[in-house]
Amino acid sequence: MNNIKINYQKELEKLIKNIDENKTPTLLLHSCCGPCSSYCLEYLSEYFEVTIFYYNPNIYPSEEYFYRVEEQKRIIDLTKSKNPIHMIEGKYDVERFYEMVKGLEDMPEGGKRCYKCYDMRLREAAKTGKENGFDYFTTTLSISPHKNSQVLNKIGEKIAEEYEIPHLPSDFKKNNGYKRSCEITKKYGMYRQDYCGCEFSQRESEERNLRNEKQNLRKKMLELSKELEEDYMLSSDEKIVEKLLESQEYKKSEKIFCYVGRGSEINTSIFIEKALLDGKILAVPYCVDEKLMKAYKIESLDDLRPGKYDILEPDSSNSKEISKHDFDLIVVPCCTVDREGNRLGFGKGYYDRFLESTKAEKLLLIREKQIAEKVFVGEHDIKIKKIITEEKFYK
């Protein structure tokens, strides 16, 4: 595909201008859902006798598919149109979709997998349009701000040549088309999904929503932490460390991995000093790069120096590395946590990767005022089952 961008809305307007006033052309309009078709129907039914072709074997799960079918029928009934609007429901050919995208499951949305999906649906529309004698075929997909109209139209043009049925150029997001579709669906209280349709786009949407939830909660808790009184923090830290030192998890341990607290985190320095005096083997984090964190043994807090993110770290060239699998106890930091042990870190993911597959006891230290009501977590987030606050040892 060449890099010359075409204004497909202008192309559509030129075509509409040349329509014979004495004959209304027929259009098979592939639709992905009712909301996306709302503006398209309002606009196109002025010039065409439109038949919606609902063919979307990519939709997941099946409940979503059938719900979208009903919403599609509803918007057809609600649309005030100059010309009649009809509907053809295609086959829910799920197996065909999964066979087509085999090997592309992990590709990001908007890439090669999506292009193949566009091709499959437009190809079926062209085939159906040709068999039923339609004058044109096209799709509502270009109304989405997330869909590439250049790619969609090029695919449509290629398929049009193969099936010998004209493709109607479109970029329905132009002229505030997407905005208008939102207004229509809001007016009628229609269900508007937050993902394209397939299980891969649903997964991306859920991950995106989860990231937003985490970012908002992280921001809220960091702001809350700045407002904590110094006396409360000092008093809480003493009680938390005391509970940690009295715990069976600590007493039974020989090798301990502990973070060096900073800012609004628990001041673990007093714990580290006591553990070293007790003869424990103690290691602290060292961030190798943006993803990897290792553990290095220290003999004293004097072995530490400011490192990545201004966190005190050991000198890796003069310290002994300890495998994460050798620890009996890992003391875990957090931005916040809920009382079920769902932890929110500071966004880098070091600890979730580090804690994975370790068998050590894991204790999380936090002040009561920094506990969240609910922390939303993903499949890779490690849950911490034991939490120590100044008031309680949650297990």
DSSP string for 93-126 = -HHHHHHHTTT-TTSPTTSHHHHHHHHHHHHHHH
Residue 50 dihedral angles phi and psi, to the nearest 5° = -95, 135
Could you count the other beta carbons within 10 Å of the beta carbon of residue 116? 16
174 vs 162: CA distance, rounded Å: 28
Q: What is the pTM of this model?
A: 0.73
Nearest Cα neighbor of 28 from 119, 136, 123, 118 is 136
Q: What would the two tokens of residue 129 be?
A: 């349009």
- Give the DSSP H or E segment for 232: helix 230-246
Higher pLDDT, 309 or 323: 323
% the chain with pLDDT above 70 = 99
pLDDT at 2: 57
Could you count the other beta carbons within 10 Å of the beta carbon of residue 81? 15
Under 8 Å CB-to-CB from 7, ≥6 apart: which residues? 171, 174
- Give the DSSP H or E segment for 275: helix 269-277
Per residue in 169-191, pLDDT tens? Answer: 999 999 999 999 999 999 999 98
Per residue in 218-264, pLDDT tens? Answer: 999 999 999 999 999 999 999 999 999 999 999 999 999 999 998 88
Q: Using alpha carbons only, what angle is made at residue 260 by residues 256 and 266, rounded to the nearest 5 degrees?
A: 100
Nearest Cα neighbor of 338 from 241, 213, 194 is 213
Per residue in 90-121, pLDDT tens? Answer: 999 999 999 999 999 999 999 999 999 999 99
303 vs 296: CA distance, rounded Å: 10
Per residue in 372-386, pLDDT tens? Answer: 999 999 888 899 999
For residues 139 and 37, the answer to whether their CB atoms sit within 8 Å is no
Per residue in 120-134, pLDDT tens? Answer: 999 999 999 999 999
Higher pLDDT, 83 or 307: 83
195 DSSP 8-state letter: S
Residue 384 dihedral angles phi and psi, to the nearest 5° = -105, 120
What SS3 class is residue 205?
helix
